Amino acid sequence: MRHILSILLENEAGALSRVVGLFSARAYNIDSLTVSTTEDPTLSRMTIVTHGSDEVIEQITKQLNKLIEVVKVIDLNESDHIEREMMLIKVRATGKDREEMKRMADIFRGRIIDVTEKTYTIELTGTSDKLGAFIEAIDRSVILETVRTGASGIGRGERILKI
Amino acid sequence: MQISGAEILVRSLQEEGVEFVFGYPGGAVLEIYDAIFRQQEFKHVLVRHEQAAVHAADAYSRSCDKVGVALVTSGPGATNAVTGIATAYMDSVPMVVISGQVSTPAIGLDAFQEVDMVGITRPCVKHNFLVKDINELATTIKKAFYIAATGRPGPVVVDVPKDVTQQLAEFHYPESVSIRSYVPVTRGHPGQIKKAASLLAEAKRPYIYVGGGAVQGGASAEVTELVKMLGVPCTNTLMGLGAYPGDDRQFLGMLGMHGTYEANMAMQYCDVLIAVGARFDDRVISVPSHFLAQPKKIVHIDIDPSSIAKRVKVDVPIVGDVKHVLRDLIDLMKQNGQRPDAANLAGWWKQIEQWRSYNSLLYTPSTEFIKPQSVVQKLYEITGGDAIITSDVGQHQMWAAQYYPFKRPKQWLNSGGLGTMGFGLPAAIGAQLANPNAQVACITGEGSIQMNIQELSTAKQYHTPVKVIALNNRYLGMVRQWQEFFYGTRYAESYMDALPDFVGIAEAYGHVGMKIENPADVEGALREAFSPALKERLVFMDFRTDQSENVFPMIQNGKGLDQMDLPPHMRELQIAPFENNRDYGNMC
């Protein structure tokens, strides 16, 4: 099952590689990973999307907690949460495709952020599923390149991950 | 006053009360060695290979209650240390390893003797640091010792670039450190401890399974008190040997792949199991599903939450320092007068005594060949069961574990987790330095000893009169055993041709060598080696043992605890399968 883990860790050199190394050393999966500093510059917040049985997820959580630089780990799946991912997708936009791509971007609430004679670059934000749905919805042959950030997640309401 | 980084490092080690630093000099650590040369407070032990430095520091720590310290240079010095670090990591030994690094401006430029030590050791350390700023050096050393020794202990590497050792700064050693992201739990959850007490009180067939965590956690007294108070049987893992006295009636011997029949059967058929600082590893429980197929309630006490439910799902997890948790458990049961039912317990003991009566460690004596088991038994007799025993890895290690019943914790030092050949001799040196008045023996094989035999030179230099008991069967014995059992006796590269003359080697290094070929000479030779005349000498004893001897019982990979390969004398026995509701009264 897919899980989305939120990790608060010290913003120190090498902390990221410890987390990534843990996943590879113990043969866990990383579907996506995002990380950046928080409002407190000494802390980083990481979101890892992974999958595995409940036992595996429990081990991942425990092993992450064992890393000295990890401050807190929560499994966002355990309660209501919001997740968002951003995608930049560059598409061929010529002839009849040009109007069609504009329309599709609108339907998915995307924004066209770069326009050339032959291409559009569309910025699209949403759940990972929504981004996947957009890719499915348009003609594969017009896609020139895609860049996805991986999901970021946050608990709803009063559920707060903080020191 | 400003002092150099090297001096800061040395002063920090002094502040930590370090007695010995095991190491080997080189370019990147010259400044540190110069600072060591100019101080008197701790002693440096020059090994002959960096791996041995780490093993010696490791065994020093295992055999006393201090953090071991090793010092190696950058590049090859650092990589040579990695096996030792991984060994300590697998067995949760508190250690600080200081490695030299090339100067900070040269890092990443493929400089001479440069390796990414922090990167290389990341998967086999509890934590590691690269110190780029001299102002953080003292605090980092403080943190390293703190992290190494607290929680589940482990090795910490501190990588120090050469320019940092040369720069100048003020020295302030912090009295304490707190790390917000590292707060080890000590006390167990009272509710969970209450559940454990109830389970034990209701148990019909209780069993206490004690691992290395009880040794490292200093919980031997509590383990013994609990087992004695309840009158229940107890087993130790390979790493836990000595946590409960091996010569006590309530001790069923070691369990696992080469455990005794009774220890393994009791593990399979108990109905309430208390696991204390043990981790159900694959050498104890090969097949978790088979183990759990026999219904039982499991309480698992461990300081490391990730050790709980890693291989075996448990009913009552208790995260905490085993010493504290056991104390609380004992006090609670005393207070409530909780004890297992005496009649049930008596029945359980009858069953256990029957299992024990088969004497699964019996072997056939010989007047022709030296039986390796008999050497260990004689060693036990002659040392009064009191020696600190180190071992290498293989058959001799298992025989040491089986036939030398350890009385106390920290008496048995072996590489249980990583299984590192070459551990024994440097470990014996480290243990002897930590315990100058103790008898220290290294039980080894002719294969393992050659992996760090150069340390005979270190032993000479530092006058560590350890006794090397080499069970020499001219085979890599455990490999040969597996090849006999599973590979149609095709002994691929398990035979050691062109063995050296070990007596000659011992003498060349300035020690005493003995070659023992006749069973009748075993006792006399051991008595001589441990006699006052040779008290100050290292004695290398080359026992030419029976080449065909195998370690029994044995649980093959993929088999259950009750599916042991039995020693020859047990194979013909009609052993009735365990029955849950048997009337124990009529059994014996």
In contact, B555 and B256? CB cutoff 8 Å: yes
Cβ distance A65 to A6 under 8 Å?
no
Pick the CATH number of A2-78 from 3.90.226.10, 3.40.50.1220, 3.60.20.40, 3.30.70.260: 3.30.70.260
Domain ranges in chain B are 2-170, 190-357, 372-544
Region of residue B433 (phi > 0: left; psi between -120 and 50: alpha; otherwise: beta): alpha
* Residue range B190-357, CATH number: 3.40.50.1220
- Kindly identify which residue of chain B lies nearest to residue A21, measuring between CA atoms: B123
Would you say residue B231 has pLDDT above 60?
yes
User: Are the CB atoms for B285 and B291 separated by under 8 Å?
Assistant: yes
CATH 1.10.10.10 fits B372-544, yes or no: no
Query: What six digits make up the tokens of B477?
Result: 């014995």
| pLDDT, mean of residues B297-322 | 97
The one-letter code for the residue type at A58 is: E
CA atoms of A23 and B317, how far apart (whole Å): 24
Q: Catalytic site residue B250?
A: no
Q: Is B113 a catalytic site residue?
A: yes
pLDDT digits (tens, 9 = 90+) for B377-400: 999 999 999 999 999 999 999 999
Q: Which of B162, B296, B297, B378 is catalytic?
A: B162
**A 31-70 near B (Cβ less than 8 A):** 55, 58-59, 62-63, 65-66, 68-70
Asked whether the domain spanning B190-357 has the same topology as the one spanning B2-170, the reply is yes
Touching A: B residues 145-184, CB under 8 Å: 147, 179-182
First to last CA, chain A: 28
Residue A136 to residue A121: CA distance in whole angstroms:
17
The question of whether B195 is a catalytic residue gets the answer no
pLDDT along chain A (163 residues), means of 10: 96 95 95 97 97 95 97 95 97 94 96 97 97 96 97 94 89
The token pair at B190 is 């009272």
pLDDT at B342 over 90: yes
Report the amino acid identity of residue B37.
F
Q: What is the pLDDT of residue B574?
A: 87
Instruction: Give the separation between CA B468 and CA B541, rounded to whole angstroms.
Output: 6
B279 to chain A, any CB pair closer than 8 A? The answer is no
Q: What is the pTM of this model?
A: 0.96
Q: How far is A71 from chain B (nearest CA, A)?
A: 4
- Sequence ranges of the domains in chain A: 2-78, 82-152
* pLDDT of B587: 42
**A46-A47-A49-A54 Cα dihedral, nearest 10 degrees:** 90
How would you classify residue A52: left for phi > 0, otherwise alpha for psi between -120 and 50, otherwise beta?
Answer: left
Three-class SS state of B64: coil
- A68 → closest Cβ in B123, B179, B310: B179
Nearest CA in chain A to B313: A55
Residues in chain A: 163
Please choose, from the candidates B48, B91, B49, the residue with its C-alpha nearest in 3D space to the C-alpha of residue B68.
Answer: B91
Q: Which CATH class, in words, describes the domain spanning A82-152?
A: alpha beta
Contact B380, B455 (CB under 8 A): no
CA distance B215 to B144: 22
Q: Candidates 3.30.70.100, 3.40.50.970, 1.10.20.60, 3.50.50.100; correct CATH number of B2-170?
A: 3.40.50.970
Residues B29-42, mean pLDDT to the nearest whole number? 98
CB contact under 8 A, A71 and B181: yes
Annotation says B579 is catalytic: no
The answer, yes or no, to whether the previous bond of B553 is cis (omega within 30 of 0) is yes
Q: How far is A157 from chain B (nearest CA, A)?
A: 25
Nearest residue, CB atoms, B306 vs list A14, A63, A71: A63
Residues of A in contact with B126 (CB under 8 A): 68
Is the predicted pLDDT of residue B585 greater than 50, yes or no?
A: no
* Other Cβ atoms closer than 10 A to B404: 24
Residue type, B235: T
* CA separation for the pair B359, B366 (Å, rounded): 18
Burial code (b: 16+ CB inside 10 Å, e: under 16) for B500-518 equals: eebbebbeebebbbbbbee
pLDDT recorded at residue B431: 98
CA dist A57 and A37 (Å) reads 25
